[in-house]
Structure 1
Amino acid sequence: GGAMEEEEGGSLIYGLVGVIVHKGEASHGHYYSLLKHHPTGIWYKIDDETVTEFDLDNLPAECFGGVQTETRGFRAEKRLRNHNAFVLVYHRESDAQTERASCSDSSPSPDAASPASSGRPRG
């Protein structure tokens, strides 16, 4: 994750949670997504009907183009890799921690929400 300064002088922490990747040329191609499952932290590649686990160490090769070597028969050919990250999705982690703390501090007890304890007439 990265940090960004708040107006009050504190840091905001952002974590990468999704990437939309375009494979192809400007005039045509195919999109697929890389998404982080929040509860487990596991990354997945979602490509049409296929969902597979994704190793985040492969993110540069998957998203930044470059040259790849393909073997055809007995010879190796170098080809341009036309995969490019198109959209990056970040989650503001510092807010999530603050919100969780404030929700647990200010959530009403179950009794406080019942009609009997609301002070309103029933019926």
Structure 2
Amino acid sequence: MLGDTENYMEGNPLVTPAAIVPEFYLLPFYAMLRSMPSKLGGVMTMLAAMLILLALPFVDFSIIRGNAFKVISKLLYGLFVCNFILLGLLGAQHIEVPFILLGQVATVMYFGYFMVLLPAVSMLENMLFYLAIKK
């Protein structure tokens, strides 16, 4: 139901399909792969996008676990989910000018979340937590 109907047609070795679309759970990473100008850069970006998830426990410096009382983290997580869905939608589109640029911007936002926003916001929320305790 979530797959592309082109994937269920019988293969014909004489005809190349107009668009090859992977399954829905790989579309965000496929969008990152296609948005890079070089093939090696695309493969490295796609691999880094999967491996950066392993660094998540080391990037979050927050002393409070969970997002129940962290408003800024909730907002940023919502923006991350929207960005990930946007990458998934871009991965299913044809390679055309506006989609390539949007894919590059969304890829930068994906990595920026893990490398810049998450550590900065966790340190900010730690400072706000300590200020709230002193009152």
Q: Same fold (TM over 0.5)?
A: no
Q: Which has the larger radius of gyration?
A: 1
Q: What TM-score, normalized to structure 2?
A: 0.27
Looking at secondary structure, tell me which structure has more helix per residue: 2
TM-score, normalised via structure 1 length: 0.29
Report 1 or 2 for greater relative contact order, CA contacts < 8 Å, sequence distance ≥ 6. Answer: 2
